[in-house]
């Protein structure tokens, strides 16, 4: 085992898959000579050359269109969107085109591309470098969406995504890039897309989360454990397809459910998780389903005080757990 950061795990996943398959290539703004703004592709240009590590113009629609065309021809592109906030010009290529290809051709044409998108707040990025965009892609049939929270999951899921024959959105919370470190096997491994992971077993409350918020949930669970509240923390890891079975079985065991995510509360991933739990585990619930999410404002303000007020934290998760336990 090697102890690495999330960004190092992402980089090694890309490197290993480029070595394994010559059809894999990366493209995006500053991914070559600079190695990406977060250095996710650092060193790849030197190893694989400019034909497989391609610096592009500042044109997300073009980046995604080129990747889509290459995928049609059997290549396996990994386009990077520099910040989630910049994905909107490329949405038609992803939602209007890539997501529909397999269905529209009755499976005769595949789109094996992985779109890497750093997302999320907590870094003082303000309105245009902090957006959470998962609900848009979560709502779209034909796309798979992964959102790992640890180096182990980031590497294993990204490698599976690169080998997948259908389009995958890889959401990487940029605050976890260097904040979160963990053990990663030095031997080859992949993780299945669509399978959640119970990061902490418990009996009193189920907490469902992903990305940066997963770590806050784990910290809060440890806090309230000193008060006799035994929290089970479920890491979705994959948002689409959603692992309904793991969520439902956990809720049946604990009887209480708290869903935590950074994205706006209305119409988010948490709303679907709540609907699934209500439909399939209603008779096991001992309290109303609770959600702790970002408010319905246009993403993170720049001021540190307002950014902190927007984002769930270890402290607010702990309060929500206490309130749910006391119901």
Q: Which residues are catalytic?
A: 129
List strand residue ranges (DSSP E) for the chain, in order: 2-5, 24-28, 53-55, 76-80, 114-119, 144-146, 168-173, 181-184, 197-200, 205-209, 231-235, 238-240, 257-264, 290-294
Angle, alpha carbons 317-158-133 (nearest 5°):
50
Please, which residues bridge with residue 183 across strands? 3
Q: What are phi and psi of 54, to 5 degrees?
A: -115, 115
Using alpha carbons, select from 93, 90, 91 the residue that is nearest to residue 71: 93
Question: Which strands form 114-119's sheet, in the order they lie side by side?
Answer: 53-55, 24-28, 76-80, 114-119, 168-173, 144-146, 238-240
Separation between Cα atoms, residue 1 and residue 9, nearest integer Å: 12
Pairing verdict, β 238-240 and 144-146: antiparallel
Question: What single DSSP character describes residue 311?
Answer: S
The answer to whether 111 and 143 are in contact (CB under 8 A) is no
Distance, CA of 173 to CA of 38 (rounded, Å): 11
Task: At 289, give phi and psi (nearest 5°).
Answer: -65, 135
Q: Which residues pair with 130 in a beta bridge?
A: none
Contacts of residue 155, Cβ cutoff 8 Å, sequence gap at least 6: 9, 10, 12, 13, 184, 189
């Amino acid at each position: 085992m090697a102890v690495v950061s999330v960004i190092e795990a992402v980089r090694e996943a890309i490197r290993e898959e480029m070595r394994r398959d010559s059809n894999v290539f990366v493209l995006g703004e500053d991914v070559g000579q600079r190695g990406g703004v977060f250095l996710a592709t650092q060193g790849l240009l030197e190893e694989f050359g400019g034909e497989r590590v391609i610096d592009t113009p500042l044109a997300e629609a073009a980046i995604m269109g080129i990747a889509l065309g290459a995928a049609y021809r059997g290549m396996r592109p990994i386009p990077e969107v520099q910040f989630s906030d910049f994905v909107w010009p490329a949405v038609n290529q992803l939602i209007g085109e890539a997501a529909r290809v397999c269905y529209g051709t009755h499976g005769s044409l595949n789109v094996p591309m992985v779109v890497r998108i750093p997302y999320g707040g907590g870094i003082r990025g303000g309105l245009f470098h902090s957006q959470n965009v998962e609900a848009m892609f979560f709502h779209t049939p034909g796309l798979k969406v992964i959102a790992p929270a640890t180096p182990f999951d980031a590497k294993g899921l990204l490698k599976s995504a690169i080998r997948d024959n259908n389009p995958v959105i890889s959401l990487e919370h940029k605050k976890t890039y260097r904040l979160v470190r963990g053990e990663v096997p030095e031997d080859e491994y992949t993780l299945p897309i669509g399978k959640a992971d119970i990061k902490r077993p418990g009996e009193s409350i189920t907490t469902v989360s992903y990305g940066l918020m997963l770590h806050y949930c784990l910290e809060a669970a440890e806090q309230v454990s000193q008060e006799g509240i035994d929290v089970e923390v479920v890491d979705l890891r994959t948002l689409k397809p959603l692992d309904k079975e793991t969520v439902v079985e956990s809720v049946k065991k604990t009887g209480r459910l708290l869903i935590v995510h950074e994205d706006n509360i209305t119409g988010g991933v948490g709303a679907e998780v709540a609907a699934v739990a209500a439909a399939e585990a209603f008779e096991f619930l001992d309290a109303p389903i609770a959600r702790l999410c970002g408010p319905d404002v246009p993403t993170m303000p720049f001021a540190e005080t307002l950014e902190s007020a927007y984002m769930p934290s270890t402290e607010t998760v702990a309060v929500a757990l206490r309130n749910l336990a006391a119901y």
